[in-house]
Structure 1
Amino acid sequence: MSHWLDDALVAVPYAQFLGVRLIWQDGAPIGLLPYREELIGVPTPPALHGGVSLAFLEVTALATLMQATAGQMAETTGAQPLEWPRTIDLSVDYLRPGLQLDAYARARITRAGRRYATLSVAAWQEDESRPFAQAIGHFLMPEV
């Protein structure tokens, strides 16, 4: 069954180019980046391109914010958000090479106000406790 956020993600061109999808765990989105050879940025040893990793982290953070915003809006108006939050900045740490495997990412909201939010997000492949990249991001929330 499709979630409204899955449909909203189709409108994000770079998410579509990368093939990012969402899977759902306990009502929260987890980003899924299916491995494709075109995503490799370093040929020897093969590793995911840093820009791919960054974009994947950003999309996952934005989807998490949209889901949280939807919960708040549903309580007050019964509607879903129409606009994506805007990225103010995103600082990424590349911890190890992203391998030739599917990648997953989970974001956690550390601060959420009406106009501004801060999230941490981590990407992993086989073991969530061993991320290959992590980021802290600040986002401007759409007006509701």
Structure 2
Amino acid sequence: MSSEYERLLRETAAAIPYLAFLGIRFETAGNELTGVLPYAPDLIGNPLIPALHGGVTAAFLEVTAITGLVWSGLRQGVIAVQAPVILPKTIDLTIDYLRPGTARDAFARARINRSGRRYASVHVEAWQDEPDRPFAQATGHFLMQRG
């Protein structure tokens, strides 16, 4: 995969302060994009379990879905390889909290169900130890922005 795509992806993520605050980053392997949420004590919502805050989980899922759409658009040539990238806008996002996210790193991957000129539908899952055992998942619909 082009290092130019990866550079643009890093620049886009760096331009979003909330990503830096949460520590979210993205890793690529071939055509696959994985979101990484490194564990930090500030991300815990329930210290008794301890479990990741639901808002942190939701943000992680949403930003992974949006970044997955950008990554896919770059690879398909639908999004120009130039900064700044115009990000898709969230129409709605439905989150299923399947089990507590515990005090360790989390990972997420998006699957694009449909991506057209104006609209996209994405499913994203987050896990910690095993990709086949997600702790949260989301389905989102996005308004595609074309520059």
Q: Which runs of structure 2 are paired with 1:1-144 in the superposition (5 Å)?
A: 3-73=7-77, 79-80=81-82, 82-144=85-147
TM-score normalised to structure 1 length = 0.92
Structure 1 residues 19-62: Cα deviation after superposition (integer angstroms, max 9, x where no partner): 00001122231000000000000111100000000000011111
Percent of aligned pairs with the same residue? 51
Q: 2-side partners of 1:72 and 1:119: how far apart?
A: 16
Q: 1-side partners of 2:143 and 2:101: how far apart?
A: 29
Cα pair 2:58 2:95 within 8 Å, conserved: yes
Q: 2-side partners of 1:129 and 1:54: how far apart?
A: 19
RMSD across aligned positions (CA): 1.7
Cα pair 2:8 2:81 within 8 Å, conserved: no
Shift of 1:12: 1.2
Q: 1-side partners of 2:29 and 2:93: how far apart?
A: 24
| Residues 79/26 of structure 1: CA separation in 2 closer, same or farther (3 Å cut) | closer
Shift of 1:131: 0.3
For these two proteins, the number of residue pairs brought into alignment is: 142
Cα pair 1:28 1:67 within 8 Å, conserved: no
Unpaired runs of at least 5, structure 1: none
Q: SS where residue 73 of structure 2 aligns?
A: helix
TM-score normalised to structure 2 length = 0.90
Unpaired runs of at least 5, structure 2: none
